[in-house]
Chain A
Amino acid sequence: MMGAGLLSLQEFRLDYGTDFEAEISRLQRAVANTPLAGNASPRWLAVKLLEGDEKVLDEIANQDGGQAVVLQAREAAARLAARFGDDADALIADRRYTWINNLVRQAVARPASPTVSVSDRVDRILTSRTFGIPIFLFAMWATLKITVDVSAPFLNWVDAVINGPLTHWAQVFFGVLGLGGSWMESLVVGGVIAGVGGVLVFLPVLMSLYLVLGILEDSGYMARAAFVMDRLMNTLGLHGKSFLPMLVGFGCTVPAFFATRILENRRDRILTALLVPFMSCGARLPVYLLFAAVFFPAAGGSVVFGMYLFGIFTAVGVGLVLKNTAFKGKQASTFVMELPPFRLPSLKSIWFHVREHTGGFVRKAGGIIVIVSVLLWLSMALPVAGNGTFADTPVEQSLFAKVSSAAAPLFQPLGFGSWEASGALFSGFVAKEVVVSTLAQVYNTEAAAYAPSTGSFIEELGDIGEGFVKATVDTLKALPLIIGIDLREAQEESPQTDLMVSIGSGFERISQVQGTGHGALAGLAFMVFVLLYTPCMAAVAAERQEFGSRVMWASILGQTALAWLMAFAVFQGGLLLGLG
């Protein structure tokens, strides 16, 4: 309890020590001769002058004879700084804090051993050196497991809606206009709907991912994760703060580049910028999910988690190499983190989190991906071989296939030396989701898999509603999967979409042609390549803006070379070990 009444405000005078008091007295006398002294305590003004308070200095300077007082105050502050080795204002503040601390010690009774709240106990475990990292990794694994398993029924529902009724309605629309079978119908159905739809089917997955991440962030756990990983980076000899931009990089690489500004010097910023793209941004997630569902349907969540983990390990490994070679030098990275208190996540803020993130994804699908889909469709509609005509040519005889084929041999040692895969990787430079939309367009065009009519408009609306109810029931049944209980019937386990089947058979076909016969291994190598190769166009532009052309090219070339080497190691190593 405070010792109220022991001293009154009138009597109180903090003793700053002999030297300070001498200077304060001199200044007090000088200030007393100015008109300002009538409005404020001369001692208070003298202390403020010593502290270098800009407002008081200005006021005094504007009085008659004030300039001389200001000069006197500056000289006094300089004398004290020289005497005590620090700025006068810091020394004055230090005296005040010391006085307050002593007063609090005298007046406040504290228990002999401080009470530790449940929140503090949880915090000690979550941020402990022993358990912090394993808990963070478990949280990541659980997040991706929930995301993949629980959202699968809605993924299939969205896919069925896009490739079923939506495609059919577009065809009917063009039929009514007398444009059925025209290049315009092909552009909309085979280009825009297939390309954008191929990406949009992952909307439920991203919604559930951001739902879980929203819960983690709103509860205060993400701040603990940043703290734990920060400590790990420090232990490894990298700058502790590097992990913060990397954590941002899990969302998008562009703001992650800007987030490197948190580091004090340019060298650390560049080093971190070279590591940030190894974090799996949200745009890569659809690629992982698609390929995991095609080649590893029984362990999709774990495979996706493995990709995230592989990215982190690669970043740490590359960081250590660079730190001991091109970026050799000591890091000064001690800092204090203020962790927010734990709290129960609010539905409102989680919804905001989900809405903002998925809204960004939808805007992207409606913007850049529509444009790229149209351009890709054009390149697939232009014949460069055979007897086809515009929009009526086998896709393997199109400009897209021809250009992509030229690069395909580069990927042959990696197991996916097909024009479809190399074309998807090239277009993925625009945005990583475009890898998926390109594959969707390529296989859609190849198969000419336009949806057949399934009934009247009302019946199709009914089918959509029925599918939604079924997806909801299946999702509820899938929820116990989080704790390992599977309530679903065997046939209910996420059926593969047409695109998944096409990609699976496409990779198997190329592996048969190459004589390896390991489509799954090639699929895994493809995922590794997508994880590590050059960041997207927007990220590259941001990197150039922040760090210049040299760093940008180092990133593009270095990452692509590393991606090739790692994918090669995965595929050839897997073959040697007899995997796949």
Chain B
Amino acid sequence: MLSRVLREMQAAQGTLRLDELAAKVNIEPSALKGMIEFWVGKGRLQMGDEVNASPCAATCGSTCPGASQCPFVAKMPTMYSIRVKD
């Protein structure tokens, strides 16, 4: 079950919606999310929420006092990808 999630992700060509992957492995999206989070915890998947929390630095157009207050960081969907080593 769990390993199938990884296999389906590896086999997919391109981006998948969470509900698309859930349909592929024939489970509820909420259950799939739990499985994905397990793999994130194991370090096999990477949660791509860095965009939401991207550091803004003091130089962000000279306007931002800090990362959390950067007005220009768009709120992005949560993404999970297979971790690739550099």
Contact = CB atoms under 8 A, between A and B. Distances in A.
B10 A334 contact: yes
Contacts of B17: 123, 127, 227, 336-339
Nearest to A105: B26
Main secondary structure of the interface of B (DSSP, over half): loop
A255 B63 CA distance: 12
Contact of B18 (A222, A283, A337, A361): A337
Interface in A355-382: 356-357, 359-361, 363-364, 367-368
Max count, chain A CB within 10 A of own CB: residue among B27, B50, B57, B74:
B74
A542 B59 contact: yes
A339 B77 contact: yes
A335 to B, nearest CB: 3
Max count, chain A CB within 10 A of own CB: residue among B38, B63, B86:
B63
Contacts of A302: none
B61 A538 contact: yes
Nearest to B56: A255
A61 B27 CA distance: 39
A254 B3 CA distance: 38
B60 A252 contact: yes
Interface string B22-57: 000001000101011010001000101011001111
A363 B35 CA distance: 44
Contacts of A235: 14
B61 A254 contact: yes
A259 interface: yes
A279 to B, nearest CB: 11
A338 B78 contact: yes
A97 B34 CA distance: 10
Contacts of B64: 360
A283 B61 contact: yes
A247 B76 contact: yes
A258 B2 contact: no
A386 B63 CA distance: 40
B54 A258 contact: yes
Contacts of A491: none
A66 B24 CA distance: 44
Contacts of A339: 17-18, 77
Contacts of A361: 63
A538 B75 contact: no
Given A259-B54, A333-B81, A338-B79, A222 B59 contact: no
B76 A264 contact: no
A336 B1 contact: no
A491 B1 CA distance: 69
B16 A334 contact: yes
A364 B61 contact: yes
B78 A335 contact: no
Contact of A336 (B2, B16, B62): B16
Given A101-B31, A248-B54, A334-B9, A282 B72 contact: yes
Contacts of B56: 254-255, 258
B10 A431 contact: no
A336 B73 contact: no
B84 A431 contact: no
Contacts of A227: 15, 17, 77
B58 to A, nearest CB: 9
**Chain A to chain B: the 9 pairs with minimum beta-carbon distance, closest first:** A251-B72, A335-B81, A252-B72, A356-B71, A223-B77, A94-B2, A360-B71, A258-B54, A264-B84
Interface of B: 1-3, 9-10, 12-19, 21, 27, 31, 33, 35-36, 38, 42, 46, 48, 50-51, 54-57, 59-64, 69-86
Given A93-B2, A227-B77, A338-B79, 15 more contacts: A90-B42, A94-B2, A97-B35, A123-B17, A254-B60, A255-B55, A264-B81, A266-B86, A332-B84, A334-B15, A335-B16, A335-B82, A337-B18, A339-B77, A538-B60
Interface of A: 86-87, 89-90, 93-94, 97-98, 100-101, 104, 120, 123, 127, 217, 222-223, 226-227, 230-231, 234-235, 240-241, 244-245, 247-248, 250-252, 254-255, 258-259, 261-262, 264-266, 282-283, 332-340, 356-357, 359-361, 363-364, 367-368, 431, 536, 538, 541-542, 545
